[in-house]
């Protein structure tokens, strides 16, 4: 008999008892241990985000310095400073939006070598710039002189801005074109009215009202 009773399901099986105060969840709130873990997790996530931000910022700041290889640098600090100043004014023909001092393109490296070689030969800063411009044109200068040949270089950013504004205006204007009332069905008009929007008046048939002002033949 006792053995048979032990095989019966327990009356307390499956019953959920009320949680005690201080447990993981319940009326008393989360357990302090869980709160501590959540706080540490949030601090760890913020720490990782700060590390990643610092790494990206340092990479962006050091990218120009990393473009110039150690083998390119001149032994004379004054000549090296002049070379870096001249290179920062010359455009990379590959990147076009970077100076040769910031670019790591092979052509930019070759131009940096040319600048340093000319400086070592005793050329002045202006002579080095003129030498590069004579070979590659005024486009090499990030700030070209204002003259007839360079008007397009100076006007290109303004023209691009005007073109972009015009394209945006045209797109907005096309989006605001009024819908032909004849294209709206009765169901669509009902949906607009349900939304509180007054649908545009339907276009009258061409035959209606066309003879309003015409005299009737006798």
Q: What's residue 151's pLDDT?
A: 63
Tell me, what's the pLDDT at 114?
Answer: 93
- Give the architecture-level CATH label for domain 68-144: Orthogonal Bundle (1.10)
pLDDT of residue 190: 81
How far is the CA of 72 from the CAs of 20, 55, 56, 120, 135, in angstroms?
Answer: 72, 26, 26, 12, 21
Q: Which token pair is 212?
A: 């309003």
Query: What residue segments make up the domains of the chain, in order of their start?
Result: 30-67, 68-144, 147-176
Q: Residue 7 and residue 103: Cα distance in Å, rounded?
A: 81
Mean pLDDT by 10 residues, the chain (218 residues): 53 52 49 62 70 60 58 87 92 84 88 92 92 87 70 69 82 64 71 75 51 48
């Amino acid at each position: 008999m006792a053995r048979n009773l032990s095989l019966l399901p327990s009356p307390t099986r499956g019953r959920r008892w009320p949680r005690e105060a201080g447990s993981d969840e319940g009326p008393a709130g989360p357990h302090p241990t869980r709160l501590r873990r959540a706080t540490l997790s949030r601090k760890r996530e913020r720490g990782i985000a700060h590390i990643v931000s610092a790494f990206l910022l340092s990479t962006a700041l050091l990218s120009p310095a990393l473009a110039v290889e150690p083998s390119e640098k001149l032994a004379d600090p004054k000549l090296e400073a002049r070379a870096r100043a001249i290179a920062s004014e010359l455009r990379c023909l590959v990147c076009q939006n970077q100076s040769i001092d910031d670019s790591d393109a092979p052509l930019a490296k070759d131009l940096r070598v040319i600048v340093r070689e000319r400086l070592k030969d005793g050329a002045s800063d202006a002579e080095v710039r003129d030498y590069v411009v004579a070979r590659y044109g005024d486009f090499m200068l990030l700030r070209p002189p204002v003259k007839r040949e360079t008007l397009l270089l100076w006007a290109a950013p303004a023209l691009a801005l005007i073109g972009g504004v015009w394209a945006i205006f045209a797109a907005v204007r096309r989006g605001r074109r009024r819908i032909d009332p004849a294209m709206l069905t009765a169901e669509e008009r009902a949906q607009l009215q349900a939304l509180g929007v007054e649908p545009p008046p339907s276009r009258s048939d061409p035959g209606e009202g066309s003879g309003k002002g015409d005299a009737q033949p006798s």
